[in-house]
Amino acid sequence: MKLQLAIDELNLKEALEVLERVHSYVDIIEVGTPFLIDAGREAVRQIKENYPEVEVLCDAKIMDAGEYEAQLAYDAGADYVTVLGITDDLTIKGCVEQARKQGRQVMVDLICVPDFARRVPVLESLGVDVIAVHTGVDQQHAGRTPLEDLQELKQYAKKTQIAVAGGINSETVGEYVALEPDIVIVGSGILNAADPVEAAKTIKAALK
pLDDT at residue 136 tops 90: no
pLDDT at 99: 98
Contact between residue 113 and residue 156 where contact means Cβ atoms under 8 Å apart: no
Task: Give the residue extent of every domain in the chain.
Answer: 2-207
Give the residue from 53, 60, 36, 25 showing the smallest Cα distance to 173: 25
The pLDDT of residue 97 is 98
How far apart CA 134 and CA 166 sit, in angstroms, is 6
Instruction: State the pLDDT at residue 201.
Output: 98
Q: Is the pLDDT of residue 145 over 90?
A: no
Average pLDDT, the chain: 96
> By three-state DSSP, how is residue 92 classified?
helix
Side chain identity at residue 69, one-letter code:
E
CA–chain centroid gap for 29, Å, is 9
pLDDT: is 146 or 200 the higher one?
A: 200
* CA atoms within 13 A of residue 197's CA, in its CB half-sphere: 5
Class of the domain covering 2-207? alpha beta
Residue 98: band (very low, low, confident or very high) from pLDDT cuts 50, 70, 90: very high
